[in-house]
Structure 1
Amino acid sequence: MIPSWTEWKRYPKAARGENIEAPIGPGIYEVRYRSSGALFAFGAVDNLALALSVLQVAPKSLTSWFARREAAPPDLDYRTCATATKADAKTAAERMIGRRETYLSGAA
């Protein structure tokens, strides 16, 4: 069976009580900036839900002598691709990376 990607979903914000919708199993995840579509994170993991939940998306706080302000977290989208095993996820991720490199080099 060929794994397929889910639709892009808005990355949840904990302050609003939103939740991640992802399988509790092996697969690949991709996170991108909503505004530009640039890649934020990508990986092949044992547990998609856990990997997305611990992803560091909150920026570090900015402190100064006069005030302490928290910067807003980036606006992100995510999608997942479930696989049967982590080995299958790694293989699929390597193929995707190879295809992306070929495309960006102009050979495609």
Structure 2
Amino acid sequence: MELNWSGWKKIPAPEVCRQIEGPTGCGVYQIKNRKTGEFILFGESKTCLKRMKSFFPKPYGTGTRNNESKREYILANWPDLEYRTLETETKEDAVKIDRYLKSLKLHKFNT
């Protein structure tokens, strides 16, 4: 499956994490540790940018996602993390890509 991802970008510092860039509509994101090369996590949303603003735990990030272990990992490792995004036409397209990424079993948090 060939996907037209954005380039890799550095995860912003916790204090400015709400300034992260990504698709405002449907899309997929992926995070990796640039130091180790390990893929960390991925996800999809019909409002991708809004979801990405919840990468960090409060008081930095937004939202009420129930994924504290992922948020704590991001907070502890953010200087070494980078992300990329993929805008999709529909939520269904984003879900298909999310399922594909999950099937690869490459990510530390493969959920």
Indicate conservation of the 8 Å contact 2:24/2:48, yes or no: yes
1:1-108 mapped onto 2 (5 Å cutoff): 3-15=3-15, 17=16, 19-56=19-56, 59=72, 73-74=76-77, 75-98=80-103, 100-101=104-105
**AA aligned opposite 2:76:** P
Instruction: Identify, as 1 or 2, the structure richer in helix.
Output: 2
Length-normalised TM-score, structure 2: 0.65
**AA aligned opposite 2:83:** Y
**AA aligned opposite 1:37:** G
Give the number of aligned pairs: 88
Larger of the two Rg values belongs to structure:
1
Which segments of 5 or more consecutive residues in structure 1 lack a partner in the other structure? 61-71, 104-108
Partner of 2:61: none
Give the deviation of 1:79 after TM superposition. Answer: 0.4
Structure 2 residue matching 1:73: 3-state secondary structure: helix
Instruction: Identify, as 1 or 2, the structure richer in strand.
Output: 1
Length-normalised TM-score, structure 1: 0.67
Indicate conservation of the 8 Å contact 2:31/2:42, yes or no: yes
Give the deviation of 1:10 after TM superposition. Answer: 0.2
Percent identity at matched positions?
27
Indicate conservation of the 8 Å contact 1:24/1:48, yes or no: yes
